[in-house]
Amino acid sequence: MLLTIPQLLSTTQLKQVQDLLDKADFIDGKLSAGKVAKKIKNNQEINTNDKELLNQLNNIVMGTLIAHPEYKSAVLAHRIAVPFYARYQKGMQYGYHIDDPVMGPNGGRYRSDVSITIFLNEPEDYEGGELSISTTFGVNKVKLPAGAAVMYPSSSLHQVAEITSGERLVAVTWAQSMIREPAKRELLYDLDKVREKLFLEQPNAIDTAKLDNVYANLVRMWAEV
C-alpha cells in the first residue's frame, strides 16, 4: 500500500524546518550505510552529533507525523525510528535498493515494515530526484510538494533518481507496525476508513458498533506487541 499525506507540515512548520536545515552540518550519507548501500548511496545527511538541532527538527517533523490520523491508521506503529535528514545535490542519487529489514542500535532494534519520506522543499527546487517505488502494479514515481509525505512498504524496491540541478531535501524514517503483513495492514486501513465514516454519519447504529467490533478483534488477532 502506497499512501500520501498531502499537507503533513504547515507553511509555518516548513519555514521553521528549512531555517534549521540552513544551519545544519551535512556529512557524507555513506557513513550511515551498510556494506551494500555504500556502493549505490550518494547523498548527504545531517551529522548525528548535532543533537540539539536534530531534536528541534524531530519535535516538528516527527511530532506532527506520529500524531497524524492517516499515519496512525495506515501504519499502526509499534516502534518508530529516529529519522535521517538527507540532502541531494547535483549528481547525487540513491540506486535501487530495499531497506534493511532490521534497523537500530543494539538494545533498540526494530523491524522495518513501513518507510516514510517527508519532502522538505518544493519539487520546482530541483530537477530529477524522483522517488521510484516498484509495486505489483508497476513503478510509481513520487515527487511531492514541500510538507507532503509518502508511506510505502519497506520491502518495496525503490530508488532516488539522480539530481540534475538544484537541491532535494527530505526526512526519511521507518516504523515497525503491530501488523507485520502489508496485506493485513491494507485491509485494516480500508476497514478503518469505513468505520470512521460510520462514526460520523451513524454513531448510534448497531451496524457501526458491529463494524467497530470486527476492526478491534482483527487488530487483536493480528497484532504483535
- For the segment 160-214, what is each residue's pLDDT rounded down to a tens digit? 999 999 999 999 999 999 999 999 999 999 999 999 999 999 999 999 999 999 9
Same domain, 111 and 202: no
Same domain, 129 and 204: no
> Shortest CA distance to 80 belongs to which of 55, 116, 47?
116
Same domain, 85 and 173: yes
Beta strands in the chain (DSSP E): 3-5, 26-28, 41-42, 44-46, 77-80, 84-89, 93-97, 102-103, 110-111, 114-119, 126-128, 131-135, 138-142, 149-153, 158-160, 163-177
Same domain, 26 and 132: yes
Cell of 22: 540552513
Same domain, 145 and 206: no
DSSP codes joined into one string, 66-102: HH-HHHHHHH-EEEEPPPEEEEEETT-EEEEE---SE
**Rounded CA separation 11/146 (Å):** 9
Same domain, 190 and 121: no
- For the segment 127-146, what is each residue's pLDDT rounded down to a tens digit? 999 999 998 889 999 999 99
For residue 217, pLDDT over 90 is answered with yes
Which domain-ending residue is among 158, 177, 196? 177
Q: What pLDDT is attached to residue 38?
A: 84
Same domain, 186 and 147: no
Q: What pLDDT is attached to residue 31?
A: 83
Where do we find the cell 524514517? 173
Q: Which domain holds residue 49?
A: 3-177
